[in-house]
Structure 1
Amino acid sequence: MAQLSSTRSGCTVLAVEGPGHGASAGLLPEGQPPAERTTTLHAAPADFARDVVVNNGVT
């Protein structure tokens, strides 16, 4: 998973990579079986939201 920020537009974008690709390649060189991959990708948005301010803190 990668977080991309743009100071120009003021937006933060979540870019999801499959487990074992990109930044997680060193941690999961073999990737993950489909069932584990589904669990990992399902958790990604919640993990992301915990780490960044969403909607400038407006809920």
Structure 2
Amino acid sequence: MSTSMTLPICSCCHRHIMPNDKCVKFNCPECGSVLIWRCESCREAARPFTCRSCSFSGP
């Protein structure tokens, strides 16, 4: 039996986030309908993200 896992992707740099990475996830502060993932590197560098639903942009 084979199982596959879909890894989340950072909303800033678009790299896969591994299970033990220090990352954060939260709903878009504007619309609340999109889950935003940010890797540790993008979070520390305050790289901007953009919501794919409402186009809200934030650090």
Q: What's the TM-score bracket when you normalise by the shorter of the two chains?
A: under 0.3
More helix by share: 1
Please report the TM-score for the alignment, with normalisation by the length of structure 1.
0.25
Relative CO higher for 1 or 2, CA cutoff 8 Å, sep ≥ 6? 2
Please report the TM-score for the alignment, with normalisation by the length of structure 2.
0.25
Which structure would you say has the larger Rg? 1
